[in-house]
Structure 1
């Protein structure tokens, strides 16, 4: 069966303010175009999702890489995962410091170690062995992120209030299916402002922040990390698909279950092994974009879907 390549990306499910709305849409559209250009030229789903997420990590509009936020000590701690649906191999990093593209480092874990995840100091030491440069904290955070961190400290906002709000920045991610029918997912995050040192959310956790299996499909999630981990959201979506639900039904079903069961909100993108795809979110907004047969589709608000005719690929 011939499969048309499909590229999907998201820029995080949260209460995206109006002043970031347009730049968020432009950012996900550019990332989707980058990933799709790889697929259209015969490239792999793995390369496409890595490249798309790198575009988002390099864009400080998004909370990943260069748009990261500061933890309670004023440091940057980054998490990421990438997964190959053909082999079920995954590479993940958590609590790494001062690396501009965690998703590429995560792929190095997959390809150059016998492990699935490296964390903290050990991960950073391995990055040094690979020649991955450490980036100064000031190059990874915006002035707005610094102001937000100072505000949390000034008003001593509790961790409970922080994690239950929809107003915090969030994760970026991508899923793809290539012309050979292989699927892949990638998810990356710069954390939550003022989080406890060492806190790891769902993003680098296999089955929670992402999952890819050629026998079913691929998912990348975003939202309240502790809630996503409790229900293993990414794998839950694929479970519902295995029961015969469509990607859209599965995405909506899984998010509704998470909201009802653990009172958590979030969003996700999913592509099936047959090339069907869907997006869904229960937060105020989620920036997302997808390309199929050259046609770009994107949205930000609930129920919103815009389309643009095929255009030259970047």
Structure 2
């Protein structure tokens, strides 16, 4: 069967001065992740590679370029999940790890736990030889400037969260030639969040979920809203009831909007290779690769394509 990989760079009110860089960033990450699949790699390897690429790109809110909390600190969250085994790993409130998605995978593969947080996650990273970086190395000049402009964060505001939140989560989903699916999600959270705040991204069933019986999802948007409706699992529940991946995403996002007034987005892939990129925010940078074609978009209902060289 054909392999497919889809990535997103966050669903939010992406400003014009970041629009082109966001699109180019997700296109590069999608091609990088798909190269793993093309070489015979697993869906799990592919989503990790794609998200690592996004974590390295200072345009996005994950790894380098992460948003800062009220104290001006980096606190990173990530999850990765294997749809074949339901194995998953997550980290939260990590401060000096360039690729939290890889640390999340290590939690999955080297411990009996699902999530490690803050000091414990760093102690684990040290114990297995994961390299750390100075926290300041993860902070871009743009983010530091924006943080200084937005020191006051109004907790609990949902209706107008786009204006406050800056850039958002990144993620990837994939199905490999064996029919196995996987997901990965990574974020720096909301700008000026309370110290210790953890959103949906590292929470199983919320920021991401993968199951070979239904599909893989990576979510983005207002984290508290996503947590309240367990968005990733809700999307897969609709798929299990016979809905297409696009319809399942639309129904779940509409429910989140109606029920808790939250906006967001999701990328989804099924074990058969059906995929979608859906959002209810102003914009979401996304890209997908299948059958030698690169699809991408930013605006609602936008779907562009490029033929890739074989």
**Which bin holds the TM-score, normalised by the shorter protein?**
over 0.9
1:189 is matched with 187
Contact 1:93 1:119 in 2 (8 A): yes
1:137 alignment partner in structure 2: 135
Structure 1: state its 5+ residue gaps. Answer: none
The aligned residue for residue 305 of structure 2 is 307
Contact 1:268–1:281 under 8 Å retained in 2: yes
**C-alpha separation in 1, matches of 2:285 and 2:189:** 18
Counterpart residue number, 1:149: 147
Partners of 2:158 and 2:241 in 1: how far apart?
36
Could you tell me the TM-score, scaled by structure 2's length?
A: 0.97
Query: Does 1:19 find its partner at 2:17?
Result: yes
CA gap of 1:92–1:99, structure 2 versus 1, over 3 A, is: same
1:109 alignment partner in structure 2: 107
Q: Tell me, in whole angstroms, the C-alpha distance in 2 between the residues paired with 1:130 and 1:193.
A: 30
Please give the alpha-carbon distance, in whole angstroms, between the structure 1 residues aligned to 2:208 and 2:257: 18
- 1:164–1:224: 8 Å Cα contact kept in structure 2? no
1:14-93 counterparts in 2 under 5 A?
14-93=12-91
- Give the drift of 1:186: 0.2
Three-state SS of the structure 2 residue aligned to 1:53 is helix
Q: Offset of 1:159 from its aligned partner? A: 2.5
- Per the alignment, residue 212 of structure 1 pairs with 210
CA-CA distance at 1:52 after TM superposition: 0.2
* Preserved contact between residue 163 and residue 224 of structure 1 (Cα < 8 Å): no
Q: Is the CA contact 2:159–2:262 (under 8 Å) kept in the aligned structure 1?
A: no
Is 1:236 matched with 2:269? no
Q: Separation in 1 of the partners of 2:221 and 2:160? A: 10
For the 8 Å contact 2:208–2:216, the answer to whether it is kept is yes
What is the distance in 1 between the residues matched to 2:255 and 2:159? Answer: 19
* Partner residue, 1:165: 161
Matched residue count: 308
For the Cα contact (< 8 Å) 1:53–1:103, is it kept in 2? yes
2:156 aligned counterpart, secondary structure: helix
Shift of 1:134: 2.1
Deviation at 1:74, TM superposition (A): 1.4
1:252-287 C-alpha deviation (Å, 9 max, x unpaired)? 000000000110000000001111011100000000
- Give the equivalent residue in structure 2 for 1:174: 172
String of CA shifts for 1:134-190, please: whole Å, max 9, x gaps.
21222111112111221123xx34233489421421000000000000000000001
Asked if the contact 1:299–1:306 (Cα under 8 Å) also holds between the matched residues in 2, the reply is yes
Moved >4 Å (runs of 4+): 161-164
| Stretch deviating more after TM superposition (126-135 or 32-41) | 126-135
Show the counterpart of 1:202.
200
Give the Cα separation in 1 of the matches to 2:303 and 2:78. Answer: 28
Q: What is the TM-score when the length of structure 1 is the normalising length?
A: 0.96
- When the two chains are superposed, the root-mean-square deviation of aligned CA atoms in Å is 1.2
CA distance in 2, matches of 1:100, 1:157: 26
For 2:180 and 2:243, locate their aligned partners in 1 and report how far apart those are by CA, in whole Å.
21
Displacement after TM superposition at 1:67 (Å):
1.2
Contact 2:153/2:192 (<8 A) preserved: no
